[in-house]
Amino acid sequence: MISTGRGLPLLMLNGYTFSKNSRGHQLYYCSKLIKGCKARVKLDLQGWVERLRGEHNHPPPQYVQTADGLYMKINKTYSFIPTARGKPLLMVAGYTFSFKRETPDHTFYVCSRYKSTSCPCSCKIDAAGNLVQLREHTHYPPKYVATQYGSYKQIA
């Protein structure tokens, strides 16, 4: 669940944002509903995704979290997913990356599917926090669900 600073919170799922339907319980529609997107999400009472319906007809918007906890739309962004142990996963456009190594100038990440799919996609973040993505993925993104409690759960 992300706060936009105004109105109802958005649900963020695989890089897409959803707005709560004012009538439905736990029903969220893609923020691009007015543009004809039919994707929608139903949450169960615990805040987990119960159902995902419809396909998006557009690429995901890109959001970045600012220091005060609000999210802003920008063109190129990434976020971190806390893990139970070790370094957090890096998430870029719905794909997750595992920490590889750090140098004074860059932090290197490899695709979290590297072991299972031999995906060659890796990326690095420079000292200023800019993301440099190097290669294309050879697979679809894993499906992670952000819960309203700020934790993540992998659903596929």
Binding site for Zn ion (CB under 5 A): 30, 32, 37, 39, 56, 111, 113, 119, 121, 137
Tell me which DSSP letter residue 127 carries.
T
Tell me which DSSP letter residue 116 carries.
H
Residue with smaller CB distance to Zn ion, 70 or 93: 93
Residue with smaller CB distance to Zn ion, 12 or 121: 121
Residue with smaller CB distance to Zn ion, 107 or 149: 107
Q: State in angstroms the smallest separation of the CB of 56 from Zn ion.
A: 3
Q: State in angstroms the smallest separation of the CB of 96 from Zn ion.
A: 9
Q: State in angstroms the smallest separation of the CB of 119 from Zn ion.
A: 3
